[in-house]
Every structure is written in structure tokens, then in C-alpha cells.
A and B are shown apart, each in its own frame.
Chain A
């Protein structure tokens, strides 16, 4: 599709806004509609559009598959790690309120970070978003990268 200049220009205009909207849905998910899953899917849709218009290899250069493979695991690790961190702070698994009372209170960061539940939700949604985006991008790569079997 590299020869269609209209498609290329329109895609170039749209993709930054799609990615920005994904980040907005990710980090504003506690105030507005959305959250990790939606953000990851929208981000992946932006990369898929890039791959459709500029070729699979270009998209692979932007989002290297080997990095995406690690991001799949990283997202789940962030989610479960937040739960384990809450346990280390003296609460139950995934009890974000515990995050507030151990290391946040009294530290310099206290004024700059949201309170415990809010912080936990942000971290957890970030984990969901990373995993979803990486999985969707990798599935697209592996579908689009297959050659016709002989």
C-alpha cells in the first residue's frame, strides 16, 4: 500500500492521535471511561494501522517482536507485583490500601503520588494495558507475517 499517497498522509496524521488517545484512556481511566484493556487495544490498533499502510517490516522496526514478547510477561508481572508489594507492606494480596501506610507516608513522594488505592489501580491498569497491547501487536505480526503454505 506504499504507493497510495492519500492513505499514507491520512495515516500519518491519524496515528499520533490514536496513540495519544490510547495513553489518555490508560492514564485517565480512573476519572473518565476506559482503562487498561481499552487503552492497550487502541494502542495496538494504531500500530496495526501503521503496519497496514507502511508495511509489516516498518511496524516490526517500530515495535520489535522480541521487545513485545518481553512486554507480555512484564505486564502480568507489574499486576502481580503490585499485589505482592501490598503483601510486603503488611496487607493482603492486591490490597492497595496497604501501599499507602508503609512507604508512602512521611516520605518526600507523598505529596506527588496519589493515595494507596488510586496508586494501586494506576499500576494494575498499566500492567493490563502493557500486556494487552503487546499481545495484540504480536498476534497481528504472526498472522500477517505468515506465508501461503505450499
Chain B
């Protein structure tokens, strides 16, 4: 191995900026995901299938679907995000990139935030894009569909952020998938309630501004707190490995 590339040895004082490091983490995650496109499609297929179970399993009546449609879509979106969370750190844990991430000289919670954002772009956002089509299939009105998309747009990042905590806590455990769901579903309930409640209020003709603002507050809270908890959980899980 030739060694002429090596710089002289000196204490490294000025490092890479945090934002540049976040961008690098984000970019790498997107690149890896696009090399494995099937993994991107799976949560979407799951979403569509769960939604289609309701007309088949409960009732295809227009009145029922109009009433329950927003709830069905929300629950299905929640479950697909849950399903995809296992991937958030698992591969990185297995191949050692997670160790390298934790050892990077930038605040870990911000790197975790970048990873979570990438995760949302790859799962939550496509779900939102798909929602109008499924909304029509469960007989939602135009206005309801718009509000539904808006609530999912604000709500799915919250799901990814809270889910990151659970994914970090269950890293490397047996039957991590089921355990992850057990830990995370109770924490998802407020988002679900306000997501569907806002659509219901819109269908009743009420103004939804206040509810949307409240969901946005959830998002702000999740963005500020969840990465800290997830970063702490990652360190604990890695310490065990």
C-alpha cells in the first residue's frame, strides 16, 4: 500500500460542519435505498392492500366507506410506517455503518434527524402521494381528501420520528419487529386521533385551522425531542453489541 497520499499527522481541530455531515448521511441513505427499489415499494403495496381489506372485510357500502375512509387510510398509513421502521437502523447496525455514524464528530441527534428525514422521504411521503387515489376508492369527497393529505403530510414525519426511538431501542434484539410495534403503537395514538379527527371535522364543515396547527405543534415537539431520545437509545443498543 502506498502511503504518499497521507497528510501529515496533526491534531484535528476544525472538523466538517454539522450541516454538511447531515447532508452526507441523508444523501447516502437515499442512494442506498434507490439501489434496492423493491424495499421502497413494499410499504406502499402494504398500504394499498390493508386499505382494500376494509371494503372486503367490513362492507363495500358507499355510506360506510365515506364515514370510515379517513380512519382506514390513517390506520393503514400508520401500519406501513411501522412496518418500514425496522429498516431504519437495522442494515446500518449489521454492516457496521452505525458504529461509524455514532463515532462521527458531529452531534449524533442531528445525524439521526437526517437519517429519519431520509426515512420519511422514502416511506411517509410516497404514502401521502398515493393517498388521493385511495381516497377516491374509499369514496372520500375532494375536500376530505385534501385535508387527509395535509394531515398525513404533517403526521407521517411524526410517525417516523417517534418510530426512530423504538427502532433504536429494539436494535439487535430477537423478534425486534413485534416488540417495536408494542412499544410504538401507544405513542402513535395522539397523532392518529388528531389526524382522523381533523378530517372528520372538515367533513362536518368545521374549520380545521386550529387542529392542523395542533398537529404542527406535535411535529415541532417530535422534531425537537425524538432525535435526542433516539440518539441516546442508539448508544445504549450499540454498547450492548
A, B: real partners: no
Residues of A within 8 A of B (CB): none
Residues of B within 8 A of A (CB): none
